[in-house]
Amino acid sequence: MSRLRGVLRLGAVVFALSAALLLVLPSYFIQLLGLDAASGLDWSMQMIGITLLALTGQMFVVSISASERGVIWAARTMQAAAFGLGVLTLLIPSGVNWFVILYALVGFGFSAAYTVFLFQRSEGE
């Protein structure tokens, strides 16, 4: 269970860093993704940043104070969400570059970590 809590905490840190970048430098994030600047895209990235900020707080609180059942449900949710983030990142309309690959790998990496630790936990019962 402590490993799942650790992955949630690490995920919170990664999301906090992403949120800060999206809120403060949305144009730079857009450039890293290889997207064309468009009217309203900075605003959209900042909205995503605010959402990630909220998710950061929730993940951290769950990791330190939720019951075992709460941690398991959060891990299952983040397992699917992280995998979806990886897939959607690779489907970006701008094409694939080094940052897109890195960002997708982060999502797939977190999904894999949740999968492994959820599986280990279920085998331990």
Query: Each residue of 15-48: pLDDT tens digit?
Result: 999 999 999 999 999 999 999 888 889 999 999 9
Band (pLDDT 50/70/90 cuts) for residue 123 is: low
Q: Helix, strand, coil: what percent of the chain each, to 5?
A: 85, 0, 15
d(CA 79, CA 114): 5
Q: What is the pTM of this model?
A: 0.91
What Cα–Cα distance (Å) separates residue 69 from each residue in 3, 96, 97?
14, 38, 39
Q: Which residue has the higher pLDDT, 107 or 124?
A: 107
> How many angstroms from the chain centroid is the CA of residue 114?
12
d(CA 77, CA 82): 9
Query: Each residue of 45-95: pLDDT tens digit?
Result: 999 999 999 999 999 999 999 999 999 999 999 999 999 999 999 999 999
Mean confidence (pLDDT) of the chain: 94
User: Which residues, at least 6 apart from 15, have a Cβ–Cβ distance to it below 8 Å?
Assistant: 52, 53, 55, 56, 59
Write out the H or E segment, with its range, that includes residue 26.
helix 26-33
